[in-house]
Amino acid sequence: MADNSSPVRDYAIMYYTYVLQSRKSNRLYTGYTSDLRKRFRQHSENLSGYTRGRGPYDRIYYEACQDEGDAKARELYLKTGKGKRYIKSRLKRFLSRTG
């Protein structure tokens, strides 16, 4: 009997680790969410405590995960010194243009 299952699984929920950049200060903010558009809107509308009053923001980077724990772990890593260096290296051309 042949296996007709697809190698790609259909996941209803994805989790996103994202990086925002403040247009005011060029500072970076890292977070994670299951609804990237809604979360960005919350940051833009000053509905998020930590980023309130520090925007407007541009979403400059995100990664998708199938597991919430993986997205949270990635967020925590990107907030470390090594993680910040990774983001700055990964986005070096973009960040050099934004100041």
Domains, the chain, in order of start with CATH, read 15-94 (3.40.1440.10)
Q: Which residues contact 48 (CB under 8 A, 6 or more apart)?
A: 39, 42
Q: What is the mean pLDDT of residues 2-10?
A: 59
pLDDT of residue 3: 56
Question: Chain-wide mean pLDDT for the chain?
Answer: 87
pTM comes to 0.82
pLDDT at 4 over 70: no
Asked if residue 6 has pLDDT above 90, the reply is no
Is residue 57 within 8 Å of 84, Cβ to Cβ?
no
Is 20 within 8 Å of 51 (Cβ atoms)? yes
Task: Give the residue-averaged pLDDT of 24-49.
Answer: 91
